[in-house]
Amino acid sequence: MDVTGTVTVRDAFDRVSKKQKLYHSVTQDVIDLVCDGIQDTLTRIQLGNDDGVEPESVLTELRRKLDALLPIIQLQKSHKETKWSLSKLVKLLEVSYHPDISLACFSVDFDINLVNKILIHHCYREGLFDVGDCLVKEAGREEETEVRSQFLEFHQIVDSLKLRNIEPAMRWIFANRGKLKQKSSKLEFKLLSLKYCDILREGKSDDALEYARTHFTQYPLHFKEIQKLITCLLWIGNFEKSPYAEIVSLSCWDKVTKELIMEYHHLLDQPINSPLKVALSAGYESLPSLLKLVHLMALTKQEWQAMKQLPVPLELGNEYKFHSAFVCPVSRDQSSEENPPMQLPCGHVISKQSMMRLSKNCAFRTFKCPYCPAETLASACRQLYF
Amino acid sequence: MEIDSATNGNSDAVMTESSATITSSPVVVPASRSNQFTESLKLEHQLLRVPFEHYKKTIRTNHRSFEKEVSTVVNGVGELADSDWSKDVTVSRLTSLVTRLQGLKRKLEEGSNVENLQAQRCRARIDHLDSVDVENITEWNNTKLKRILVDYMLRMSYFETATKLSESSNILDLVDIDIFREAKKVIDALKNREVASALAWCADNKTRLKKSKSKFEFQLRLQEFIELVRVDTAESYQKAIQYARKHLASWGATHMNELQHVLATLAFKSTTECLKYKVLFEPQQWDVLVDQFKKEFCKLYGMTMEPLLNIYLQAGLSALKTPYPSNSIKFDVFNCLFSASENKVAESNFSKRHPNVIFTGGLRLYLDMSQIWF
């Protein structure tokens, strides 16, 4: 990690605060000086009559003294130094940091309502319920009660799983049994086996057996897992040596929690990660390149705002690739609804339009695959789905 | 890469597992990753600049008040020396000067405390930028996300939400709530058709505004003048002319055309139908002033005009490559959320070789992503 950027800024800032401290001590000194001078004059005047000293002369003396000290009093030097170091700091900032990242913006009107809705959903998703409610109030939007209750339930389930309490999770599973069965989810059984393993780890074999008898009998389909779990009884107190160390370990809780999170979101038809988070993380990565592009375009006198399409693709990491994309090797077009990839019997894949063109749109006309010399018919090709 | 696969599955609810994965993997950071850190750190100009400007301003104000007080005291002494007051009067005058100095001393101490707090805030931000590391990059990005959200909320004036969010995530040092509150006061006054606080703000920042050749104060004065003309009585016209003599004349050298244009409203009254002058009496002029204030304010503090959220969101959505939703129902929803023209642009943008959609209407990708199962 490159630290030099902040190091120089930090140095500059330390310099500023040092100078400022100096300034303050000088101010205090100056005030004391002037104060003392006046006090002194005051006492002399008050006692003056006895000495026959005229108040006027004392005052003139004081004035002369103060005039002599005027530059110091005005702290010109001290304040100038602070000002100078401050301006250096600001210049340094402008150099080390991009002064205006909004250059990469296009003048687009954001639909404020939509943005607020996205923010509210994001807050609920991240468990920031009071922030979300506050935002609903301040933005004047209608309440998103459904989303809120869904995520509230979600957070309750996950929080209780952290404390190894499977009750809320089981409740949710019972409520959604039908849909979960459609996905052949094993969550129900897995949660119960987690509790069972907890009991095993505590060493209570009788309780464990009791538990198994009460709960596992409803899951005949999971007999293989049940077999393993019951066999674990033989190794009570000694799990590390057993072949089932993994099944009984605490890390299973994390695994099952993860699985539950995924299934919960699948059921709600929601992505697991907040879309806002993903979009913004993509932004963190791509903004530097965009700004470079702006700079280059300015050099070549092109209008950023008038640009219809980015001339270069912005590369993001693998984690931002969500869909596979097929680009036809013949036409260099990306596949779409109307132009899907077609697989030829020889195994090669080209887009539908290229295939049509090659076979001259006749269903019975043979054409050659562009890769290998195999001849084939348009009707023999099948659409590829991925 | 292991580090980012944890980012994918990471929500605030999933706890130790992700951090465990990160620390257990050997810290072999490819050059590109650390480059990315430096690159994204370079975008944080606003984070540092705003508290520095604030600090600078406090220093300046404190110094100015100090200068004033001290010179008054010194002048007072000089005056006493020149004049011929009796002993008692002199004594009392001198004592009052002393008390004044003592008051100044106290004030300066308070001022110094305020400066220290602000310096602390600047330091906290420098530390925060320094703290980014391979290991806590997700945590740091989460904080960044919250900062961006708070910035958006402050610009939309959702102060309560912003405070709640910053308190609950401990980022009070990293956000500029009080600065935005300051701005809101001026904006509210302008919306209420009062220029007083805006003028006070201009006076406060006189040198900076002059340096950037801003004509904001001029525009405020013009608006006040127009309000006087609007009243439409002989007395108000008198007042208006006096006002112009006092405040507008000095701007004549640089902005003569505008000055003439507005002064001509004396001839056309507020009920004029002449378009050129009617527009000056429109209430929308106040909105123009509000916008202008926002621009000047942001420029002064080194902030972007656009909320950070917009900037990053645009950049991110332009870079994400996802095809159109195949589900036609979602497409209808998308259609009714955006205007037809935006759709067309988005459609023409989404094309062949480089499917980087320019952001126009890119919020549709938000809907897209709800179809994505990671």
| Beta bridge pairs of residue A367 | A376
Per-residue confidence (pLDDT) for residue B30, from 0 to 100: 52
C-alpha closest to that of B59 among A77, A28, A19, A74: A19
Report percent pLDDT > 70 for chain B: 76
Cα–Cα distance between B160 and B361 in angstroms, integer? 30
Check B317 against A31: CB less than 8 A apart.
Answer: no
Per-residue confidence (pLDDT) for residue A339, from 0 to 100: 81
Report percent pLDDT > 90 for chain B: 7
Report whether pLDDT(B17) > 80. Answer: no
Residue of chain A nearest B351, judged by CA positions: A334
Window 152-191 of B: residues touching A by CB (8 A cutoff) are 152-153, 156, 158-161, 164-165, 168
Per-residue pLDDT reduced to its tens digit, A192-214: 888 888 888 888 888 888 888 88
Cα–Cα distance between B292 and B298 in angstroms, integer? 10
A125 touches chain B (CB under 8 A): yes
Q: How many CB pairs under 8 A join A and B?
A: 363
More confident residue, A131 or A304: A131
Q: Where are the alpha helices (DSSP H) in chain B?
A: 2-8, 16-24, 31-41, 45-82, 87-130, 137-155, 159-168, 177-191, 196-204, 206-211, 216-231, 234-243, 256-263, 275-278, 284-301, 308-319, 328-337, 340-349, 364-369
Q: Between A31, A46, A275, which is nearest B101 by CB?
A: A31
Determine the distance in angstroms separating the CA of A96 from the nearest CA of chain B, rounded to an integer.
Answer: 7
More confident residue, B120 or B368: B120
| Cβ contacts of A280 within 8 Å, gap of 6 or more | B144, B145, B148, B309, B312, B313, B316
Per-residue confidence (pLDDT) for residue B184, from 0 to 100: 92
Work out whether the CA dihedral A160, A166, A168, A169 comes out positive or negative. Answer: positive
Mean pLDDT along residues B345-352: 35
A-chain CB neighbours of B164 within 8 Å are 130-131, 134
Asked whether A244 and A228 are in contact (CB, 8 A), the reply is: yes
Question: In b/e form, how buried is each residue of B313-327, taking b as 16+ CB within 10 angstroms?
Answer: bbbbbbbbbbbbbee
Cα–Cα distance between A95 and A89 in angstroms, integer? 10
Give pTM, 2 decimals. 0.76
User: For A37-45, which contacts have Cβ atoms below 8 Å and span 24 or more sequence positions?
Assistant: A37/A62, A37/A65, A37/A66, A38/A62, A38/B73, A38/B77, A38/B94, A38/B97, A38/B98, A38/B101, A39/B98, A41/B94, A42/B91, A42/B94, A42/B95, A42/B98, A45/B87, A45/B90, A45/B91, A45/B94
Could you tell me how many residues make up chain A?
386
Question: In b/e form, how buried is each residue of B35-47, taking b as 16+ CB within 10 angstroms?
Answer: ebbebbbbbbbbb
Q: Which residue has the tokens 């919020």?
A: B363
| Beta bridge pairs of residue A341 | A351
Per-residue confidence (pLDDT) for residue A352, from 0 to 100: 83
Angle at B198 between CA B197 and CA B203, to 5 degrees: 95
B213 touches chain A (CB under 8 A): no
Q: Between B40, B49, B326, which is nearest A93 by CB?
A: B49
Mean pLDDT along residues B352-369: 39
DSSP class of residue B195 equals -
Report whether pLDDT(B349) > 70. Answer: no
Mean pLDDT of chain A: 80
Per-residue pLDDT reduced to its tens digit, B280-301: 888 888 888 899 999 999 888 8
Cα–Cα distance between A301 and A306 in angstroms, integer? 12
Amino acid letter, A146: E
Asked whether A312 and A332 are in contact (CB, 8 A), the reply is: no
- If phi > 0 it is left, if psi is from -120 to 50 it is alpha, else beta; for residue B14 that is beta
Report percent pLDDT > 70 for chain A: 86
Cα–Cα distance between B21 and B33 in angstroms, integer? 17
Per-residue confidence (pLDDT) for residue A361, from 0 to 100: 65
Per-residue pLDDT reduced to its tens digit, A173-184: 888 888 888 888
Window 45-84 of A: residues touching B by CB (8 A cutoff) are 45-46, 48-49, 55-56, 59-60, 62-63, 66-67, 70, 73-75, 79, 82
| Cβ contacts of A123 within 8 Å, gap of 6 or more | A129, A131, A132, A135
Per-residue confidence (pLDDT) for residue A225, from 0 to 100: 85
Per-residue confidence (pLDDT) for residue B346, from 0 to 100: 38
Determine the distance in angstroms separating the CA of B136 from the nearest CA of chain A, rounded to an integer.
Answer: 12
Residue of chain B nearest A56, judged by CA positions: B81
| Confidence class for position A55, pLDDT limits 50, 70, 90 | low
A271 touches chain B (CB under 8 A): yes
Backbone angles phi, psi at A376, to 5 degrees: -155, 165
Per-residue confidence (pLDDT) for residue B19, from 0 to 100: 38
Angle at A243 between CA A237 and CA A247, to 5 degrees: 75
A316 touches chain B (CB under 8 A): yes
Check A59 against B161: CB less than 8 A apart.
Answer: no
Q: For chain B, how far is it from start to end, CA to CA, in angstroms?
A: 16
Mean pLDDT of chain B: 74
Q: Which residue has the tokens 């009071």?
A: A130
Report whether pLDDT(B374) > 60. Answer: no
Residue of chain A nearest B41, judged by CA positions: A97
Report the range of poorest mean pLDDT among A320-329, B63-72, B171-180.
A320-329
Check A307 against B338: CB less than 8 A apart.
Answer: no
A281 touches chain B (CB under 8 A): yes
Angle at A251 between CA A247 and CA A256, to 5 degrees: 80
Q: Which residue has the tokens 């209407």?
A: B361
Report whether pLDDT(B142) > 50. Answer: yes
Amino acid letter, A216: F
Per-residue pLDDT reduced to its tens digit, A361-376: 666 677 778 787 777 7
Per-residue confidence (pLDDT) for residue B150, from 0 to 100: 92
Residue of chain B nearest A21, judged by CA positions: B112
C-alpha closest to that of B161 among A145, A281, A123, A154: A123
- Token pair of B39 as six digits: 């690159």
Asked whether A293 and A310 are in contact (CB, 8 A), the reply is: yes
Per-residue confidence (pLDDT) for residue B31, from 0 to 100: 54
| Confidence class for position A107, pLDDT limits 50, 70, 90 | low
A-chain CB neighbours of B80 within 8 Å are 59
| Beta bridge pairs of residue A343 | A349, A382
Check B338 against A278: CB less than 8 A apart.
Answer: no
Mean pLDDT along residues B306-320: 82
Per-residue confidence (pLDDT) for residue B317, from 0 to 100: 77
Check A333 against B352: CB less than 8 A apart.
Answer: yes
B331 touches chain A (CB under 8 A): no
B89 touches chain A (CB under 8 A): no
Mean pLDDT along residues A319-342: 75
DSSP class of residue B196 equals H
Residue of chain A nearest B45, judged by CA positions: A97
Report the range of poorest mean pLDDT among A243-247, B189-193, B299-303.
A243-247
Check A104 against B311: CB less than 8 A apart.
Answer: yes
| Beta bridge pairs of residue A350 | A342
The rounded Cα B325 to chain-centroid distance in angstroms is: 38
More confident residue, A324 or A142: A142
Neighbours of B251 (CB within 10 A): 17
| Beta bridge pairs of residue A366 | A377
Asked whether B319 and A317 are in contact (CB, 8 A), the reply is: no
B141 touches chain A (CB under 8 A): yes
Cα–Cα distance between B125 and B176 in angstroms, integer? 11
